[in-house]
Amino acid sequence: MARYAKFRRFDAAGGKLLSLRRAKITAVGHYLPERRVTNNDLAKFVDTSDEWIFDRTGIRERRIADKGVATSDLGAKAAQRVLEQRGIDASEIDLIILATVTPDMFFPSSACLVQNKIGASRAWGFDLSGACSGFVYALATGAQFIQTGAHKKVLVIGADVMTSILNFEDRATCVLFGDGAGAVLLECAEDGEQGIIDFLLRCDGSGGNFLYMPGGGSLHPSSVETIQKKMHYVHQDGKNVFKFAVRGMAEISQDILERNKLDIKDIKLYIPHQANLRIIRAAMEKLHMDESQVAINIDKYANTTAGTIPICLSEAVESKRIQKNDYVLMASFGAGFTWGSLLFRWEN
């Protein structure tokens, strides 16, 4: 019988010493639509060019889902790859948390739709809206269910079909995004394993007007007027997002390292949200980080929102870029504003 790693935490309310299990990632997987759309392809119907896009973003191409393919479809594909990698049946999953800003519909949740598509008959689930920080938020949330002993197997998915909410007449935003999904399985760590070590999560609602989609919710319900005003598309103030993203990701990454008495040199792989190569490089410079430590795939997939970090992690595992006992640090920044970091040790 496996012995599980535990750590102690004081209950802030009563001062009682709690014994909690540690959570670890035991499997990863990702899925990307087959259709590749290059910058030159976009230039055929958008006033742009490969040079203009690449110089400003680092993007060369992106994947676009076919019409009728929804977020739950991408999420289910990524989830199935996780199950195959772990060698378990979907019926063993206790909980599904799906991070997304492009759910199939308002309700039911896309997590419920994924549950049905993969046959996870025992699982409950919910969607989490954290924009580009959604996966980090969801991973931290899922870890709590493992740590408390409430669940044994938690599936965490980051998936978005961002092209479904893009205005292809707005070259400032339509060139930035793509579609994709990544997923991980969380289970209890065994004795001697650290797994998920720590996380820091933040939000600042005063930044809400810099990156948002105004139409479709309770404030501006769908109507002829909201459609005519193009309110169902992404709206972004790029300069303000850039400024806050660089500072936010760098500072919270440094904060979590200091809190855990680690140096940037201790990190084998830094996985930043893939929004813009300039943002990634600026954060790297602030952290004094070598490029060999950083996961970058924005050139291939653009910004898949909640999908970027798990897709990067999955590719790193596939290429054996991380090995057992390596420290991995994730950092994100997104609409809200939301931002966060999560530190873990790869135990597989």
Class of residue 16 by CB neighbours under 10 A (exposed 0-12, middle 13-18, buried 19+): exposed
CA distances from 286 to 57, 235, 250 (A): 19, 28, 6
The reply to whether 132 belongs to the active site is: yes
CA-to-CA distance for 17 and 14, rounded, in angstroms?
A: 9
- The continuous run of DSSP H or E covering 135 comes out as helix 134-147
72: left (phi over 0), alpha (psi -120 to 50) or beta: alpha
Closest by CA to 111, choosing from 161, 165, 159, is 159
The reply to whether 112 belongs to the active site is: no
φ, ψ dihedrals at 331, nearest 5°:
-145, 140
> What does the block give as tokens for 142?
């899922």
- The continuous run of DSSP H or E covering 154 comes out as strand 154-161
Catalytic residue, candidates 30, 151, 235, 273: 273
Catalytic residue, candidates 112, 132, 174, 203: 132
Catalytic residue, candidates 112, 151, 303, 312: 303
Rg (CA), the chain: 20
CA-based torsion, 144, 150, 154, 158: positive or negative? negative
| 46-51-55 Cα angle (round to 5) | 110
The reply to whether 220 belongs to the active site is: no
Match 């935490």 to its residue by tokens. Answer: 9
119: left (phi over 0), alpha (psi -120 to 50) or beta: left
Half-sphere exposure (CA, 13 Å, Cβ side) for 272? 29
Class of residue 64 by CB neighbours under 10 A (exposed 0-12, middle 13-18, buried 19+): buried
Which residues form the catalytic set? 132, 273, 303
